[in-house]
Amino acid sequence: MENLKAKSENQLKEIVKEFNISGRGKSETLAIQNAFTNLRKEVYASIDGCIVFMEPEAFRIDKMTIKERKEKFLWVFMPKIKREYLVKSTIQVRIRYIDYKEDSVEVIRDGKKRLINRLQENSL
């Protein structure tokens, strides 16, 4: 491991970020699970690089809303109450990701090597 660090800069980075996430579901559990699904999407969208590890460090429910409505069969028979839960939460996440440099990317096309960056790769 020391040889790897001596040869080049460590490209594995670690940060801690806080996200405000909401989720909805038919129960409290499903709403919180949906919030964590939305968290995953939000983390992937906010980090440039390849995410290796994601760990929630803190979770706080800021607001939980329960919507109730009464449903009846043919508007008269068998009334039952339907509930939908909406959770707004703040989640603090530790993220480890690989931060590769653009100058280390090369494309070999027709036997010719060319260094590229993100702006040039669309024109290839």
Residue 92 or 109, more confident? 92
Which token pair is 63? 């607001």
pLDDT per residue as tens digits for the range 31-47: 999 999 999 999 999 98
What pTM, to 2 d.p., does this model score? 0.69
pLDDT per residue as tens digits for the range 68-100: 998 888 777 888 889 999 999 999 999 999 887
H helix or E strand, kind and range, residue 107:
strand 106-109
pLDDT reported for residue 40: 94
pLDDT reported for residue 16: 96
Return the minimum-mean-pLDDT range out of 10-24, 57-71, 100-114.
100-114
Neighbour-count burial for 10-44, b at 16+ CB within 10 Å, e otherwise: eeeeeeeeebebebebeeeeebbebbeebbeebbe
- Give the pLDDT band of residue 119 (cuts 50, 70, 90): very low
Residues in CB range of 85: below 8 A, 6 or more apart: 24, 25, 26, 27, 28, 30, 31, 64, 65, 66, 67
> How many domains is the chain partitioned into structurally?
1
Range of the domain at 85: 2-121
